[in-house]
Structure formats: structure tokens, C-alpha cells
């Protein structure tokens, strides 16, 4: 009896999934989809998919930590497929929810969720941070550069570690001042504090400041612009925010990852699960160069970064990943 | 600790103290008149939003400031109407202001600018920029005093100077003017004031309005005077509550407010600068502790060291005229 009941349920859910082109859904993390950084990049990818395919998609912006699982479950119950979660904080809830909805495909961005129906898209941010570290050290005149992180977690230490290693590779004596905005999720959206941390770093001599802090970075880049020094953006290309005072941005192609996931989930697409690792070799992370910062990046700097890129691609240079050892060889 | 370091820390302290001080003085006027105000946080947030939104549309920080104060005063009137006119519970009315401000700012912001509750990034005359006081450049070469003048005293925005000027001004208003005497009197013994033929309601309402104006300035400082350069959701981040704690710590005096707020500002500056301290190579004080320090200290100070903090005697009690 129990068995037949289960079988019926199985048939029902199979029917739901087989409905052609189930609408895809995306959930943004607490920074909000207009954070000009990570979430906005994910949002742009979703918008582009909508325009290119003509299909609609559902989206949800988290307002509090408590909504994380609730939103994910709601989308799964409504039959959305695939469901994309933007942000590493989804890891633990996704592990649970993915088991409960085995016929729904999920996409985790920035974290690995080892389930048969989850595609985990991770970026090798340490490689991209290494590249902007090189640029920072070469652009700095004072020999002191800064880093402002969001929440103090190993994931953000990965950015700072790559940044320090890159900077030290061109100038072994460079001083790197590192600060984290906070230890809770509120640290992703506190530009007042971000600006204050940056001002403190500037008063200690920093003349290039890199942020990996989501919405908090708005204050970092503004403070850098006000003081006439250089900032470095993250996740999205943020060069346009303060033309001429953003040295470059460490770009993660989150939009591409979202676009690809939504397209693969289409009726005609082929959705694959497992880990997708994006780095310098496949263009997943890079530094941005456009008309806003063309004057700030000299040919010499371009050459140094190109050399590092080539070394990373060929395997001669392996940038240390903080998450593998939870320690950084340089501080 | 080098001299340069002291200058850096103090400079940071002054910037972090400004919003706390304005909010703390705001609370002082309200509570001295007998109206408890737990809604400082909400009024600051609403003020920050109003200032940023109007500054973004008009491009003028001054018009933005006026709007911020206006919005904050509007919330103050709501609080005053509930707490004074309708004699409602002042704590509940204050909480309502906080919740309303947090929700309304994000909601109106989203509908107005379609940026997830944020306002557009402000630039140029849309913000209060740093003011270089006269001769700051020339005097910076003078040892000690030059650095103090050019780095510490010069180079803040107008609202910071306003906050620090408001301290002696408030002390004068409270303790040297007839208005101040009446204000303190309605907080202590409204019956006596009423007997003297002065309207308790009007006196309290005026204090609540001053509170609104100062909270609006505190909010405008956050959105127009800092690197945020605009409004983001929940940008006050608990500063209104810290100001409330500082007010008790300050025993409801302007001088005390200055010292208490500077202490909290200083602790935050320390927490920013030293995110982890290694003590004798033995153990590391974690960053979580450094960032929690202002809050831990609030509890410790309020529980033990503040001595007896006696609130205005009729604080929180609506005045009912005897018939």
C-alpha cells in the first residue's frame, strides 16, 4: 500500500518535471540584486537569458537569513526548474532541500553542494585576485596597499590571500593592510563602515584599496575617490562607478554562469550536474580593462599581468587557495 | 603609541561620534521633557532616506538635509501625537516608529528609484564634502599643534562641526534659558508647570520636534556626509540604540553625552583599526570580540560603573490634567 502510494507520487512529480520548459528561478543573497557587484551580476545574467530566450523567470531577494530555506522550498514546490541560488551561504540549506526535491535541478554559485541534482559553479577567485594584486602593487606609489573584505570567512580570505600573493610577486616589500567589515551577514551591506575602514587604511598610507565586500564596497570605492587614491572593484566590472579612480575590477563571470544554467534548463537544453570550476584558464575570472581605466593601466602592467595569466594557464604558477589549507603563506 | 597613530584614531573617532552625538542630544531633549524615545533609530533611518532621496533628485545636499529633517520631524510628530496627545505607551509608540521607518524607507525607495531600496550614488554638491579650515595647509608643518589643527580639527563636513557645536549650545539652552528650565520642569514635575499656567503638552511637543530635527541631521550625516554617498537599507545599523545607551550613560546631560558618544566612537575606531590583537604571542583576541566590544562595554558600564543614573522623574508618564 505504502509502495503504491509512493509510486503514484513519483509519477506525479515526474509529470511536473516533464512539462516542457518549467520556469527557472533565481534567489539573490542579502546584498540585494542591485548591489552593483555579485548579485547584480547574477541578475544581469538572468535578464539576458530572459531577453535572449523570451522565457520568463522568477526571482526572489532575501530580506533576512530566515527566508533562505523558505524561499528555496517555495520555488521547488511550485515546480520551478532549475533553481539558482546566488551565494555561498546557501550551502547548508541546499544540501537539505536538494534531497527533498530529487527531481528538481539546483545550481549553487560560489560553493560546492555534493548532491546528484546540483550543479556547483565555483570560481577560482584567488587567481583573479592574484592578477589585481599585481596591478595594485605596480600602481602603488607609497608601497602600501589595502584590502577591505566583507564578512570574515575563509571564502573572503581566499580573495585577500590571492591579492597579497600577487602584490608580493612584483614587490616583495609591499605592505598590505587588511580589514574585514564584520562577522555577520550585515557586513555585506554597510557602506558607512566600509568607507570608514578605507579612510583608516588611507591614513596609514594605503594608496590602492581592493574590496571584496558586496554592497559595502560602495563606501570603499567612494572613500578612495574622495581621497584621490585608487580603488579596485570586485565581481562585476565596477570601473564605471568612479571613472579614473577605479584601477580595475576583479571580474567573475557570474552572469555567464547564470545564463548558462538557465539556458541548459530550457526545453532544448542539456542540464548537467557536478562541479564547474571557472578560473583564468577558461575566462571565468579576469581583470577588467575598459575606457574608464585605460589611462591607469600602463603597458608594463599589462605585460606583467599577461605573463602571470600565461603562467597560471600553463600550470607553472599555482596560486595558493586559502580554502584548501585555511591558512595563507603571506600575510 | 605614536603621535601619528593617536591623530589617526582620534580623527576616526570624531567621524564615528558625529551621528551618535546628534542622536544622543536628540534623545536628551525628548527625555528631559518626559517623553521616552526609543524611536531614535527609526527617525535617523527615515532622515537618512529622505535626505538621500531628495539630494539625489535635486542635486543639493542642503535641500536634502532639509528634507531629511522634515521626514524625521514627521515621524517625531507621530510619536508626539501618540505619546503626548493620546497618552499612549511611549515605548510602544517608539517601537512603531522604528518598524515603520525601516519598512517605509525600503518600500518607497524601491518604488521611487527601482534599485532595491537604495538611492542613486550621490556626487559633487549632492553630498556634504570635507571642509578645509583656513590655513590648514600652511599650518600643517607646525609640529604637534599643526597636525592637530590640519588633520584633526580641519577636514570634516559641516554636520560634524554642527554636532560638536550643538553640545555647548544644548547645555546653554537647557540650563541657562527660561525655555530650558520649563523643559526640565515638565520632565520632573509636570503638575507644577501646569499650575504655573504653562502648557505641558506644548512644552513636550516642542522638545519632541527638536528631537526630530536633530535625528534628521544624524541621518543626513550618514547618507550625505559619509562614504556611503546615498541610502542603503538599514544603514543606521543600530546607531540609534547605541545613542540611547549613551544617553543613560551620560545621565541626560550634554557634556556627558559628548563624552559617552566619544567613548563609543573611540571603541569603534579601535575595533576597526585593530581587528585582532596578539597578546604576548600567547593568544589572539579575535576580531569578533573587538567588534562586539562597544556592546559588551555598554552592558558593563550600564550595569556597574555609571553610578546611579536617575532618569527625569516623570519620564514615560503621560501627563493627565487634574480636573
Tell whether A6 is covered by a domain.
no
Closest CA to B254 of B178, B183, B164, B179: B164
| Section B172-192 average pLDDT | 94
How far is the alpha carbon of B208 from chain A, nearest alpha carbon, in Å?
27
Question: Does some domain include residue B143?
Answer: yes
B226 touches chain A (CB under 8 A): yes
Name which of A24-38, A102-116, A279-293 the model is least confident about.
A24-38
**B116 interfacial to chain A (CB closer than 8 Å):** yes
B227:A223 CB<8 A:
yes
What is the rounded average pLDDT of the residues B213-236?
A: 92
The nearest CA of chain A is from the CA of B174 a distance in Å of: 32
Q: Do B227 and A182 touch (CB under 8 A)?
A: no
For range A8-15, the mean pLDDT: 42
pLDDT digits (tens, 9 = 90+) for B53-68: 999 999 999 999 999 9
The answer to whether residue A330 sits within a structural domain is no
Which chain A positions have a beta carbon within 8 Å of B287's beta carbon?
Answer: 152, 180, 183
Of all residues in chain A, what percent are helix, strand and coil, respectively (each to 5)?
45, 20, 35
B45 touches chain A (CB under 8 A): no
Give residue A148's pLDDT.
95
Report yes or no on A1 lying in a domain: no
Q: Are A131 and A192 found together in one domain?
A: yes
Q: Is residue B311 part of a domain?
A: no
Chain B's closest residue to A201, CA to CA, is B273
Average pLDDT over residues A229-249: 93
Asked if A119 has any chain B CB less than 8 Å from its own CB, the reply is: no
Q: Do A129 and A117 sit in the same domain of this protein?
A: no
Residues of A in contact with B116 (CB under 8 A): 32-35, 61
Q: What angle do CA B74, B16, B103 make, to 5 degrees?
A: 35
A197 in B contact zone (CB under 8 Å): yes
Q: Is A33 on the interface with B (CB under 8 A)?
A: yes
pLDDT of A4 strictly over 90: no
- Return the SS3 of A85: strand
Pick the residue from chain A with its C-alpha nearest to B16.
A196
Contact B12 A196 (CB under 8 A): yes
* CA of B115 vs chain A CAs: smallest distance (Å): 6
Q: What integer pLDDT is reported at residue B302 of this predicted model?
A: 73
In a domain, B312, yes or no: no
Q: What is the residue-averaged pLDDT of chain A?
A: 88
The Cβ of residue B166 has, within 10 Å, a number of other Cβ atoms equal to 20
- Residue located via cell numbers 505607551: B89
Helix (H, G, I), strand (E, B) or coil at A329: coil
Give the pLDDT of residue A7.
47
Per-residue confidence (pLDDT) for residue B323, from 0 to 100: 60
Nearest to B228 among A61, A204, A218 (CB): A218
Give B-chain residues touching A205 at CB under 8 angstroms: none
**CATH label of the domain that carries residue A81:** 3.40.50.2300
Whether A219 and A242 map to the same domain: the answer is yes
The boundaries of the domain holding residue A111 are 17-124+255-278
CB contact under 8 A, A190 and B273: no
Query: What is the percent of chain B where pLDDT is above 90?
Result: 57
How many angstroms separate the CA of residue B15 from the nearest CA in chain A?
8
One domain for residues A216 and A289: yes
C-alpha cell at A83: 533553481
A303 shares a domain with A238: yes
Residues of A in contact with B231 (CB under 8 A): none
Residues A169 and A292 in one domain: yes
Is B317 inside a domain boundary? no
Residue of B nearest to A61 (CA): B116
In the structure, what pLDDT confidence band is assigned to residue B294 with cuts at 50, 70 and 90? confident
What is the arithmetic mean of pLDDT over B179-190? 94
- Which has more confidence, B36 or B272? B36
B234 and A204 within 8 Å at the Cβ level: the answer is no
Residue B265 lies in a domain: yes
Helix boundaries (H) for A19-90: 38-53, 67-77
> Looking at chain B, which residue has its C-alpha nearest residue A60?
B116
Q: Which domain holds residue B204?
A: 3-305
CA distance B130 to chain A (A): 9
The pTM assigned to this predicted structure is 0.87
Q: Do both A114 and A130 map to the same domain? A: no
pLDDT confidence tier of residue A27, bands split at 50, 70 and 90: very high
| Interface pTM, i.e. ipTM | 0.87
Do A117 and A169 have their domain in common?
A: no
Q: Residue B43: which residues within 8 A CB-CB, separation 6 or more?
A: B26, B72, B75, B76, B97, B101, B211, B212, B215, B216, B219, B240
Residue A12 lies in a domain: no
Asked if residue A60 lies in contact with residue A71, where contact means CB atoms within 8 angstroms, the answer is: yes
Q: Do B287 and A190 touch (CB under 8 A)?
A: no
Residues A178, A201, single domain; the answer is: yes
Of B12, B233, B287, the CB nearest to A199: B12
The distance of B37 to chain A (nearest Cα, Å) reads 24
Task: Tell me if B227 and A179 make a contact (CB, 8 A cut-off).
Answer: no
Q: What is the 3-state secondary structure (H, E, C) of B105-163?
A: HHHHHHHHHCCCCCCCCCCHHHCCCCECCCCHHHHCCCCCHHHHHHHHHCCECHHHHHH
The reply to whether residue B227 touches residue A222, judged by beta carbons under 8 angstroms, is: yes
Question: Could you tell me where the DSSP H helices lie in B233-303?
Answer: 239-249, 254-273, 287-300
Q: What is the pLDDT of residues B30-53, one digit of tens each?
A: 999 999 999 999 999 999 999 999
Nine cell digits for residue A75 = 520555488
- CB–CB contact B227 A226 (8 Å): yes
For position B278, what pLDDT does the model report?
Answer: 65
**B294 within domain boundaries:** yes
Domain with B65 in it: what CATH number?
1.10.3470
Confidence of residue B282 (pLDDT cuts 50, 70, 90): low
Question: Does B320 lie at the interface with A, CB-CB under 8 angstroms?
Answer: no
Residue in A61, A197, A226 closest to B272 by CB: A197
- pLDDT of A316 > 50? The answer is yes
Query: Nearest residue on chain A to B102, judged by CA atoms?
Result: A63
Nearest CA in chain A to B221: A192
Please write the tens of the pLDDT for every residue from A136-146.
999 999 999 99
Residues of B in contact with A152 (CB under 8 A): 287-288
DSSP A253-280: -HHHHHHHHHHHTSSS-----EEEEE-T
In this structure, the answer to whether residues A91 and A111 fall within a common structural domain is: yes
Query: What angle in degrees, to the nearest 10, is found between the helix axes of B40-58 and B90-113?
Result: 20
Q: Report how many domains make up chain B.
A: 1
| A213 & A299 share domain | yes
Together in a domain, A264 and A246: no
**Residue A179 burial by CB count (10 A; 0-12/13-18/19+): exposed, middle or buried?**
buried
Q: Residue A197's closest chain B neighbor by CA?
A: B272
- Residue A202: closest CA among chain B residues belongs to which residue? B8
B276 touches chain A (CB under 8 A): no
Mean pLDDT of chain B: 89
Count: domains in chain A = 2
Indicate if the pLDDT at residue A2 is higher than 90: no
In a domain, A219, yes or no: yes
For chain A positions 126-155, those within 8 Å of chain B (CB to CB) are 152
User: Could you give the angle at which helices A191-203 and A217-227 cross, rounded to 10 degrees?
Assistant: 40
B94–chain A nearest CA distance, Å: 23
**Which residue shows C-alpha cell 575606531?**
B269
Distance from CA of A32 to the nearest CA of B (A): 7
What DSSP assignment string belongs to A98-135?
Answer: HHH-TTS-EEEESS----TTEEEEEE-HHHHHHHHHHH
**Helix, strand, coil content of chain B in percent (nearest 5):** 70, 0, 30
More confident residue, A239 or B320: A239
**pLDDT, tens digit, 9 for 90 and up, residues A278-291:** 999 988 999 999 99
Question: Looking at residues B205-227, what average pLDDT do you find?
Answer: 95
User: In this complex, which of A183, A192, A222 lies closest to B287 when CB atoms are compared?
Assistant: A183
- pLDDT 10s digits, B116-165: 788 888 888 889 888 888 777 777 777 778 878 887 888 899 999 999 99
In angstroms, what separates the C-alpha of A315 from chain B's closest C-alpha? Answer: 35
Percent of chain A at pLDDT > 90 equals 70
Residues of A in Cβ contact (< 8 Å) with B234: 186, 189
- Three-state DSSP class for residue A155: helix
Amino acid at each position: 500500500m505504502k509502495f503504491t502510494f509512493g509510486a503514484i507520487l513519483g509519477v506525479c512529480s515526474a509529470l511536473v518535471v516533464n512539462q516542457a520548459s518549467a520556469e527557472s528561478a533565481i534567489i539573490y543573497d542579502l546584498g540585494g540584486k542591485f548591489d552593483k557587484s555579485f548579485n547584480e551580476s547574477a541578475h544581469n545574467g538572468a535578464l539576458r537569458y530572459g531577453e535572449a530566450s523570451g522565457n520568463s523567470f522568477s526571482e526572489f531577494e532575501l530580506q533576512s537569513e530566515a527566508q533562505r530555506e523558505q524561499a528555496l522550498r517555495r520555488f521547488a514546490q511550485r515546480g520551478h526548474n532549475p533553481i539558482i541560488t546566488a551565494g555561498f551561504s546557501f550551502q547548508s540549506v541546499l544540501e537539505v532541500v536538494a534531497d527533498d526535491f530529487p527531481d528538481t535541478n539546483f545550481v549553487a554559485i560560489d560553493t560546492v553542494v555534493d548532491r546528484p541534482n546540483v550543479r556547483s559553479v565555483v570560481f577560482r577567485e584567488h587567481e583573479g585576485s592574484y592578477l589585481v594584486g599585481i596591478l595594485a602593487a605596480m600602481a602603488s606609489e607609497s608601497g602600501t596597499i589595502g584590502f577591505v573584505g566583507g564578512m570574515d570567512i575563509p571564502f573572503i580570505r581566499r580573495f585577500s590571500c590571492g591579492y597579497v600573493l600577487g602584490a608580493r610577486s612584483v614587490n616583495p616589500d609591499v605592505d598590505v593592510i587588511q580589514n574585514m567589515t564584520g562577522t555577520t551577514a550585515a557586513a555585506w551591506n554597510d557602506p558607512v563602515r566600509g568607507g570608514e575602514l578605507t579612510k583608516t587604511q588611507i591614513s596609514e598610507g594605503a594608496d590602492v584599496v581592493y574590496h571584496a565586500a558586496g554592497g559595502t564596497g560602495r563606501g570603499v570605492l567612494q572613500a578612495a575617490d574622495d581621497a584621490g587614491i585608487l580603488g579596485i572593484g570586485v565581481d562585476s566590472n565596477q570601473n564605471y562607478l568612479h571613472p579614473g579612480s577605479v584601477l580595475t575590477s576583479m571580474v567573475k563571470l557570474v552572469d555567464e554562469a547564470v545564463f548558462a544554467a538557465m539556458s541548459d534548463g530550457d526545453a532544448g537544453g542539456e542540464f548537467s550536474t557536478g562541479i564547474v570550476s571557472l578560473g583564468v584558464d577558461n575566462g571565468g575570472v579576469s581583470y577588467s580593462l575598459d575606457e574608464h581605466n585605460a589611462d591607469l593601466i600602463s603597458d608594463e602592467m599589462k605585460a606583467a599581468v599577461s605573463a602571470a595569466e600565461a603562467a597560471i594557464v600553463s600550470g607553472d604558477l599555482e596560486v595558493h587557495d586559502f580554502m584548501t589549507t585555511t591558512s595563507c603563506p603571506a600575510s | 603609541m605614536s603621535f601619528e597613530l593617536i591623530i589617526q584614531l582620534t580623527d576616526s573617532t570624531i567621524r564615528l561620534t558625529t551621528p551618535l552625538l546628534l542622536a544622543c542630544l536628540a534623545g536628551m531633549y525628548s527625555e528631559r521633557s518626559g517623553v521616552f524615545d526609543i524611536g531614535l533609530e527609526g527617525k535617523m533611518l527615515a532622515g537618512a532616506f529622505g535626505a538621500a532621496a531628495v539630494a539625489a533628485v535635486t542635486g543639493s545636499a542642503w535641500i536634502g538635509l532639509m528634507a531629511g529633517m522634515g521626514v524625521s520631524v514627521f515621524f517625531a510628530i507621530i510619536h508626539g501625537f501618540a505619546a503626548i496627545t493620546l497618552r499612549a505607551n511611549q515605548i510602544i509608540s517608539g517601537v512603531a516608529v522604528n518598524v515603520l521607518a525601516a519598512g517605509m524607507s525600503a518600500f518607497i525607495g524601491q518604488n521611487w528609484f527601482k534599485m532595491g531600496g537604495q538611492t542613486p550614488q550621490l556626487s559633487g554638491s549632492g553630498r556634504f564634502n570635507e571642509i578645509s579650515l583656513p590655513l590648514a595647509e600652511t599650518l600643517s608643518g607646525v609640529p604637534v599643534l599643526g597636525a592637530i589643527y590640519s588633520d584633526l580639527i580641519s577636514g570634516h563636513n559641516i554636520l560634524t562641526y554642527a554636532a560638536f557645536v550643538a553640545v555647548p549650545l544644548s547645555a546653554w539652552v537647557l540650563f541657562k534659558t527660561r525655555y530650558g528650565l520649563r523643559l526640565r520642569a515638565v520632565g520632573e514635575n509636570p503638575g507644577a508647570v501646569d499650575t504655573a499656567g504653562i502648557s505641558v503638552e506644548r512644552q513636550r511637543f516642542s522638545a519632541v520636534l527638536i528631537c526630530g530635527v536633530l535625528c534628521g541631521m544624524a541621518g543626513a550625516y550618514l547618507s550625505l556626509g559619509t562614504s556611503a554617498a546615498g541610502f542603503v537599507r538599514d544603514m543606521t545599523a543600530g546607531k540609534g540604540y547605541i545613542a540611547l545607551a549613551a544617553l543613560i550613560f551620560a545621565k541626560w546631560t550634554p557634556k556627558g553625552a559628548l563624552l559617552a558618544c566619544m567613548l563609543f566612537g573611540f571603541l569603534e575606531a579601535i575595533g576597526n583599526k585593530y581587528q585582532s590583537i596578539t597578546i604576548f604571542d600567547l593568544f589572539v583576541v579575535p576580531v569578533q570580540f573587538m567588534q562586539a566590544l562597544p556592546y559588551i562595554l555598554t552592558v558593563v558600564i550600564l550595569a556597574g560603573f555609571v553610578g546611579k543614573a536617575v532618569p527625569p522623574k516623570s519620564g514615560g508618564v503621560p501627563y493627565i490634567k487634574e480636573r
